[in-house]
Amino acid sequence: MDAITFPPAPTNEPNLTYAPGSPERETLVAELARLEKKQQSFRAVIGGKRRNGGGAEIKVVQPHDHAHVLGTLKNSTTKDAEAAIKAAADAAPAWRAMPFDERCAILLKAADLLAGPWRQTLNAATMLGQSKTAFQAEIDAACELIDFWRFNVHYAKQILTDQPIANSPGIWNRTDHRPLEGFVYAITPFNFTAIAGNLPTAPALMGNTVIWKPSPTQQLAASLTMELLEEAGMPPGVINMLPGDGLDVSKVALAHRDLAGIHFTGSTPTFQHLWRTVGENITGYRSYPRIVGETGGKDFIVAHPSADPDVLRVAMIRGAFEFQGQKCSAASRAYVPRSVWVKIKDQLIADTEALSMGDVTDLSHFMGAVIDDRAFAKHKAAIARAKRQKHLTVLAGGQTDDSVGWFVRPTIVESTDPTDQMFSDEYFGPILAVHVYDDARFEKVVEQMESFAPYALTGAIIAQDRAAVAWARKTLRFAAGNFYINDKPTGAVVGQQPFGGGRASGTNDKAGAAVNLLRWTSPRSIKETFVPPKDHRYPHQG
Ligand SMILES: NC(=O)c1ccc[n+]([C@@H]2O[C@H](COP(=O)([O-])OP(=O)(O)OC[C@H]3O[C@@H](n4cnc5c(N)ncnc54)[C@H](O)[C@@H]3O)[C@@H](O)[C@H]2O)c1
Ligand SMILES: N[C@@H](CCC=O)C(=O)O
């Protein structure tokens, strides 16, 4: 008989420092050398079996050294997608029937494997493939993914124990949290190994089987995540990984009767394309597909005249430039009162110019390269435009160089016009637009920026005046799904600041929280009457 059990209580995985001489640094350096040396073939995983996709070859390279090929993959085709969907359907009955505790144990084991023997492998892969520094890889590939897996078990258990609170006499009401009927299509972005690992596993934990389409530029870490999950005991067919650009996979998956849900993180245009296609196909599905998407941002820092200048300067540098500004949460627009600007401007420029950028296997760097040639071209064009416009002044950075890697210097652009496109368009790179305003206009400036960008992902207020903090918190209530007071707008921690945004930034089904897991269940209400009536007549009938 199944006991009522309590999984280990989750706690956040502590960050290792990688300081010179630390044991973690030594292991990481060895893993970097090992992974750099071998060119891999990244194959699809369908029903637990490896196979090459049937499409064209795609090279996976190091962004900071793009001549260095980490491996190759073959694009997944419609045939691969059909095989993966069949494998997911074949695996579904046994996976649904597996006791919940066993599913939890697989993810808890995956978390422990990642905290232990796999930690530096996934960190090194994330550094090489996505050009993250050691610290940026640690907070993503190790800590955030471990936290997702441990906290999701805790939240899933809460969902299952959440049962009806009322029972009429002689009746027992129960809720059966069923998985969805069909497969979940998880499509993941390049920028976070943790998000890539969470999107397929969260629906799987709730009993669903999954088609996982990672980003080609994140394929090294994605393939290793798949291996780790297999070592943790994830049965064949529960998560089927299809490398490549996803175009052919979507042709099949989005038109399939059994599409039960989409778990997406990536850009707003891609998400809108997926949603539109589902809309066009709506009459063909068995159930209405659940659509969960976390998308773009134009994340802000607003400083009040009472702001502590040092707090503001650090929030701007770390918030805008860590991981080359390629966090969806990265600050890309700042509004600074003139009285504070005069105190920080010189130091902000000097600190920005001093940020060291280069090959991330040299652990002394603060930043690496942007992800690919497309991103590089976009940032280069945005900077060139800024140099041309009269109302824009490039204060720091502005240089780009793609001869070895896709390097974009951290760039600060001052704008006299807060309606310039730099305050509304997502560039997803190390470019921070700053509007300096007269102190007395604080409220006017906040009211203008509140909905100037279509997004509402993250934002921060930097102020010491409590009334100003309270006013901004109220006025900016719908401008950010994650709102920070006297801190940078990046670095949300699972279990502490559930992450996600509204408006064009997504459906705000907070990753790593119970609300997200609920989307992957279809509750069934069960009423049992112990002594049912045997006469159809009611008392008022006399
Ligand atoms: N809100 C969040 O939580 C969050 C987190 C991380 C990244 N992001 C956003 O992600 C974007 C950057 O990531 P990206 O460049 O990987 O985004 P992207 O939209 O280019 O790609 C995301 C994924 O979608 C795939 N894709 C694209 N078209 C597809 C199709 N037709 N069918 C199937 N798959 C398809 C890509 O291959 C990739 O795997 C930014 O806009 C950023 O703000 C948001
Ligand atoms: N947890 C991360 C998520 C970033 C997404 O790209 C942050 O809050 O910075």
Helix segments in 206-246, DSSP class H: 219-232
Mean pLDDT of 238-265: 98
Task: Tell how far the Cα of 351 is from the centroid of ligand 2, in angstroms.
Answer: 23
Res. 412 pLDDT band, cuts 50 70 90: very high
- 303 and 330 within one domain: yes
Looking up residue 289, the CATH number of its domain turns out to be 3.40.605.10
Looking up residue 480, the CATH number of its domain turns out to be 3.40.309.10
Mean pLDDT of 172-187: 98
Has residue 435 been placed in a domain? yes
- 423 and 333 within one domain: yes
SS3 labels along 366-424: CECCCCCHHHHHHHHHHHHHHHHCCCEEEEECCCEECCCCCEECCEEEEECCCCCHHHC
Task: Give the pLDDT confidence score for residue 402 in this predicted structure.
Answer: 98
Residues acting as catalytic residues: 294, 328
- 148 and 268 within one domain: yes
Mean pLDDT of 177-195: 98
Is residue 472 predicted with pLDDT exceeding 90?
A: yes
Give the position, in ligand 2's atom list, of the atom nearest the Cα of 458: 8
191 lines ligand 1 (CB under 6 A): yes
Query: What pLDDT digit, counting tens, does each position of 229-248 carry?
Result: 999 999 999 999 999 999 99
- 303 and 291 within one domain: no
Has residue 215 been placed in a domain? yes
Burial class (CB in 10 A: 0-12, 13-18, 19+), 153: buried
Number of domains in the chain: 2
Is residue 485 predicted with pLDDT exceeding 80?
A: yes
Q: Whose CA is nearest to atom 38 of ligand 1?
A: 215
Has residue 393 been placed in a domain? yes
Q: Whose CA is nearest to atom 28 of ligand 1?
A: 270
Mean pLDDT of 322-337: 98
How many Å apart are CA 361 and CA 88, to the nearest integer? 38
Mean pLDDT of 391-415: 98
Helix segments in 56-118, DSSP class H: 78-97, 100-115
Task: Give the pLDDT confidence score for residue 2 in this predicted structure.
Answer: 74
Has residue 108 been placed in a domain? yes
- Give the residue numbers spanning the domain of 198: 43-295+506-526
Task: Tell how far the Cα of 491 is from the centroid of ligand 2, in angstroms.
Answer: 5
Cα dihedral across residues 286, 208, 200, 37: positive or negative: negative
Task: Give the pLDDT confidence score for residue 173 in this predicted structure.
Answer: 98
Task: Give the pLDDT confidence score for residue 3 in this predicted structure.
Answer: 85
**Which residues, other chains included, contact 280 with Cβ-Cβ below 8 Å and sequence gap of 6+?**
none
Has residue 397 been placed in a domain? yes
250 lines ligand 1 (CB under 6 A): yes
Tokens of 136: 């940026």
Looking at every residue in the chain, the average pLDDT score rounds to 98
Q: Whose CA is nearest to atom 10 of ligand 1?
A: 266
Residue 318: nearest ligand to its CA? 2
| E strand or H helix that includes residue 71 | strand 65-74
- 407 and 315 within one domain: yes
Mean pLDDT of 384-400: 98
Has residue 185 been placed in a domain? yes
Mean pLDDT of 416-421: 98
- 345 and 283 within one domain: no
- 425 and 276 within one domain: no
Res. 542 pLDDT band, cuts 50 70 90: confident
- 470 and 416 within one domain: yes
426 lines ligand 1 (CB under 6 A): yes
- 388 and 320 within one domain: yes
Task: Give the pLDDT confidence score for residue 214 in this predicted structure.
Answer: 98
Mean pLDDT of 47-59: 97
- 304 and 291 within one domain: no
Res. 188 pLDDT band, cuts 50 70 90: very high
| E strand or H helix that includes residue 160 | helix 145-161
In the numeric block, the tokens 């999701």 are attached to: 152
196 lines ligand 2 (CB under 6 A): no
- 317 and 225 within one domain: no
149 lines ligand 1 (CB under 6 A): no
Task: Give the pLDDT confidence score for residue 1 in this predicted structure.
Answer: 61
Task: Give the pLDDT confidence score for residue 301 in this predicted structure.
Answer: 99
- 180 and 221 within one domain: yes
Has residue 118 been placed in a domain? yes
Query: What pLDDT digit, counting tens, does each position of 27-51 carry?
Result: 999 999 999 998 899 999 999 999 9
Contact 15, 105 (CB under 8 A): no
